[in-house]
Structure 1
């Protein structure tokens, strides 16, 4: 595409996609080449979140002119390219747990207001989520139940063959999901609209003019608007005063911009429940990712490595004791459980390698 393979950058760092940046001649009025990104999912990866749209690029095309600060797109042959946003991520500029300038906070609030105007019947982008995971309009309880069901079936049960022993050692089982449902049920009905569903600091890019851009729309869905706020708060880790301000301004934005009133109804009661769900959901994803990171390190006998991994797992377990109805195992118990899992994986890999070699034991 560029005419010079030497100017192509990549693959860029990222978990889910292999991404390359390609400079192409600018459009009329643009003197300099413009950089575009070409990416596709990495094969063989674990996915822990629902995909509700057939194509992120198709969604972005449908949102042009409706949502500000999203990447432009061009079609280059069979490849759909997103414009590479030049700037720094919010996480690079303002790390997790720190406050952000009011000008940027205001732009995030404005984004929520724009999302509130995009109703399920007003968007042409193809949706692929099955009826099993799609709740009826306004059924916030049903929406959350389907998120729980996805975590239970596609994260917990699907990975049971590889992680059953570790889950058991950490006190995670089917009862955990029963407790979670009891803890978070009874949500107020709210009209559904478009959710980004992954608004964290690395998905915001600040350009040289101080404008905020929102990237990575692949987890977008239609659903309870309060879930988008809960996910945002959970991932951003605002200081308490700024978190309170965001909640206040979010309520004003979605109520004033939403096509249907009531987007913030019952938030005082329901926001803690949705945050509890996010804490519970993270337990299963973080346990799997942390264990796999040990396997990738290939230094599983390193006691300090196991200890650090055990500490990460105990932190996520501690945050979810109430919604999952669990007790956090002692530090040495978690470390020992991770050690056993690593040993079992190594033994299993050895058996499979032996079976693949003629005459192997």
Structure 2
């Protein structure tokens, strides 16, 4: 079977796992099962994108063991082939907000430690405009700049919805002055998308998927966005943070908890904006149960952000559904 034939089988498959940027299809070949990863052409880019995923996988392999093995890359048509990892997606037995097995916590912190030990010259190249290592404030502003761009892109189309949902005209004003206060830390390779759907657990070992959003940046951001997306119970969040500070070299973890809180606050604001747009676009094609799930989840995200904006966190799913009715009925 050629790589193009493999791609054709994946393209025609009915069953696939899709994120925001890629469609993943498991295909059985004479040499074993593989995962064919096909970009979604119509995906709206709402995250900072620095490297191509195959660049990351090829560079981090000698330093990080539990990542997909890259088998093939095609530019035209665009797709990748990874080895298929058998196991359970963490979210399938430990959904967001619930406790995570202790071995997974250890594996997450071990991964973060492995990543900071990759020398910069072994990582993919960063563009000239990228903040220099140690410029944590510049890195934070870079992240916020993308969030500001997303808000500006959809501001006119969603003006009434944003206002009714409580998203301010300048949603980043509450974090903007705080970037100057960030502690300088040396940069490292970051996964930047470590959440329960990107982890597969097999034989008490955790594998880490989806490296398309990997960055070169402040390690405090890695654990901040991880906490935002994992939604750990408070005791586990504290345990992960303690292990992180104990295991990683101190120069990567130095700084007050305020630095962590700032990154988390930014992600909560970004999530309220981005997911209002993403979820609204999914409503028309969603089933009733899917719509209820999306609207309920968005209400929680918006209420979390509203606390940062000093607004009452009193949006109900019913109110969110009414505000997004034009998209639901499209």
TM bucket (normalised to shorter chain) is 0.7 to 0.9
Counterpart among 182, 191, 194 of residue 189 in structure 2? 194
Cα offset, 1:293, TM superposition = 2.5
How has the CA–CA distance of structure 1 residues 309 and 108 changed in structure 2, closer, same or farther, with 3 Å as cutoff? closer
Contact 2:178 2:262 (C-alpha < 8 Å) held by counterparts: yes
Distance 1:179 1:202 in 2: 30
Counterpart among 255, 266, 270 of residue 281 in structure 1? 270
Counterpart among 19, 22, 28 of residue 23 in structure 1? 28
Unaligned runs of 5+ in 2: none
Q: Residue in 1 aligned with 2:34?
A: 36
Q: Which secondary structure state, in structure 2, belongs to the residue aligned with residue 320 of structure 1?
A: helix
Distance 2:74 2:216 in 1: 31
Counterpart among 38, 47, 50 of residue 48 in structure 2? 50
Structure 2 length-normalised TM: 0.85
Contact 2:167 2:306 (C-alpha < 8 Å) held by counterparts: no
Q: Deviations over 1:315-334 (max 9, x none)?
A: 22221134344455654754
Unaligned runs of 5+ in 1: 26-32, 256-260, 347-361
Note if 1:212 corresponds to 2:206: yes
Contact 2:90 2:201 (C-alpha < 8 Å) held by counterparts: yes
Structure 1 length-normalised TM: 0.79
Distance 1:306 1:162 in 2: 21
Counterpart among 64, 69, 73 of residue 70 in structure 2? 73
Q: Which secondary structure state, in structure 1, belongs to the residue aligned with residue 170 of structure 2?
A: helix
Q: What is the alpha-carbon root mean square deviation over aligned residues?
A: 3.0
Cα offset, 1:309, TM superposition = 5.8
Q: Which secondary structure state, in structure 1, belongs to the residue aligned with residue 248 of structure 2?
A: helix
Q: Which secondary structure state, in structure 2, belongs to the residue aligned with residue 40 of structure 1?
A: strand
How has the CA–CA distance of structure 1 residues 338 and 35 changed in structure 2, closer, same or farther, with 3 Å as cutoff? same
Q: Residue in 2 aligned with 1:290?
A: 279
Contact 2:91 2:197 (C-alpha < 8 Å) held by counterparts: yes
How has the CA–CA distance of structure 1 residues 120 and 305 changed in structure 2, closer, same or farther, with 3 Å as cutoff? closer
Distance 1:147 1:273 in 2: 12
Q: Deviations over 1:128-163 (max 9, x none)?
A: x672xx22221111111111110111x211223432
Distance 1:120 1:58 in 2: 14
Q: Residue in 2 aligned with 1:227?
A: 221
Distance 2:80 2:327 in 1: 41
Q: Deviations over 1:93-130 (max 9, x none)?
A: 3222222232222121111110111243332x354x67
Note if 1:137 corresponds to 2:144: no
Cα offset, 1:294, TM superposition = 2.3
Q: Which secondary structure state, in structure 2, belongs to the residue aligned with residue 266 of structure 1?
A: coil
Q: Residue in 2 aligned with 1:94?
A: 94
Contact 1:138 1:192 (C-alpha < 8 Å) held by counterparts: yes
